[in-house]
Amino acid sequence: MELLLDQIAQHIQQRYGLEPKDDWPRVLRTALKKMDLTEDKSKDLRKTGLSDERLLQKLAGHLTIKESYFFRYYSHFEYLCSSIKHTLTENPELTSLTIWSAGCAQGQEIYSLAWLLSESLEARLMSRIRLSGTDLDEQAIISARQGIFHAWSLRHTNAFQREKYFQKIDELHYQIKPSYSFPIAFNHGSLSDYCAGLPDQTLDIILFRNVSIYLTKKARSALYKGFKRILKPNALLIISPSDPFPDEVMFQPEPEHRSIFRLNPTETGVSWNTFRSFSKNDHSEHVVDMKLIHSIPASGFTLVDPEAPALTSWPDLTGVSEKVMTRLASLSNGGQTHEALELVESVIRDHPELYAAYLWRAKLQLTLGNFFAATNDLRNIVFHESNNHIARYWYALAMELNGESKRSLLQLKILIENLKKLKEDDLLMDNHTTAKELLSAALERREHLL
Ligand SMILES: C[S@@+](CC[C@H](N)C(=O)[O-])C[C@H]1O[C@@H](n2cnc3c(N)ncnc32)[C@H](O)[C@@H]1O
pLDDT class of 319 with cuts at 50, 70, 90: confident
- Taking the centre of ligand 1 as the mean of its atom positions, its distance from the CA of residue 138, in whole angstroms, is 12
Cβ burial, residue 33 (10 Å; 0-12/13-18/19+): exposed
Task: Evaluate if residue 433 carries a pLDDT over 50.
Answer: yes
Assess contact for 180 and 115: CB atoms under 8 A: yes
Nearest to 219 by CA among 17, 14, 60, 9: 17
Pocket of ligand 1 (CB under 6 A): 16-18, 64-68, 72, 103-105, 108-109, 134-137, 140, 190-191, 209-211, 214, 240
pLDDT class of 222 with cuts at 50, 70, 90: very high
pLDDT on residue 153: 93
Q: Kind of pairing, strands 231-238 and 257-263?
A: antiparallel
- For residues 72 and 108, give the distance between their C-alpha atoms in angstroms, rounded to a whole number: 8
Over its C-alpha atoms, the chain yields an Rg (Å, rounded) of: 23
Assess contact for 312 and 329: CB atoms under 8 A: yes
Q: What is the pLDDT of residues 142-191, one digit of tens each?
A: 999 999 999 999 988 888 899 999 999 998 899 999 999 888 999 999 99
Query: What average pLDDT does this structure show over 368-392?
Result: 85
pLDDT class of 429 with cuts at 50, 70, 90: confident
pLDDT on residue 183: 87
Q: What is the pTM (predicted TM-score) of this model?
A: 0.68
Residue type, 271: S
Q: What is the pLDDT of residues 24-49, one digit of tens each?
A: 999 999 988 888 776 555 555 666 65
The sign of the dihedral angle between the CA atoms of 230, 246, 290, 262 is negative
pLDDT on residue 289: 26
Assess contact for 149 and 106: CB atoms under 8 A: yes
Assess contact for 320 and 347: CB atoms under 8 A: yes
Q: What secondary structure letter does DSSP report for 82? A: H
CB atoms closer than 10 angstroms to residue 82: 16
- Taking the centre of ligand 1 as the mean of its atom positions, its distance from the CA of residue 102, in whole angstroms, is 7
pLDDT on residue 42: 56
- Taking the centre of ligand 1 as the mean of its atom positions, its distance from the CA of residue 368, in whole angstroms, is 31
- Taking the centre of ligand 1 as the mean of its atom positions, its distance from the CA of residue 73, in whole angstroms, is 16
pLDDT, the chain, mean: 82
CATH 3.40.30.10 fits 74-268, yes or no: no
Nearest to 125 by CA among 79, 67, 83: 83
Residue type, 165: Y
Residue 254 bridge partners (DSSP): 257
- Map residue 369 onto helix, strand or coil: coil
Q: Which atom of ligand 1 is nearest to the CA of 189?
A: 21
Task: Evaluate if residue 412 carries a pLDDT over 80.
Answer: yes
Residues 6+ apart with CB under 8 A from 447: 65, 213, 214
- Taking the centre of ligand 1 as the mean of its atom positions, its distance from the CA of residue 366, in whole angstroms, is 28
Task: Evaluate if residue 59 carries a pLDDT over 60.
Answer: yes
Query: What average pLDDT does this structure show over 362-367?
Result: 82
Task: Evaluate if residue 302 carries a pLDDT over 60.
Answer: no
pLDDT on residue 431: 75
Residue nearest to atom 2 of ligand 1 (CA): 66
Q: What is the largest CA-CA distance in the chain?
A: 68
Which secondary structure element, helix H or strand E, spans residue 259, and what is its range?
Answer: strand 257-263
Query: What average pLDDT does this structure show over 59-77?
Result: 92
Nearest to 278 by CA among 91, 83, 90, 99: 83
pLDDT on residue 110: 97
pLDDT on residue 187: 93
pLDDT class of 99 with cuts at 50, 70, 90: very high
CB atoms closer than 10 angstroms to residue 107: 28
The CATH class for the domain spanning 289-449 reads: mainly alpha
Residue nearest to atom 13 of ligand 1 (CA): 103
CB atoms closer than 10 angstroms to residue 62: 19
- Domain range summary for the chain, segments of one domain joined by +: 2-63, 74-268, 289-449
- Taking the centre of ligand 1 as the mean of its atom positions, its distance from the CA of residue 210, in whole angstroms, is 7
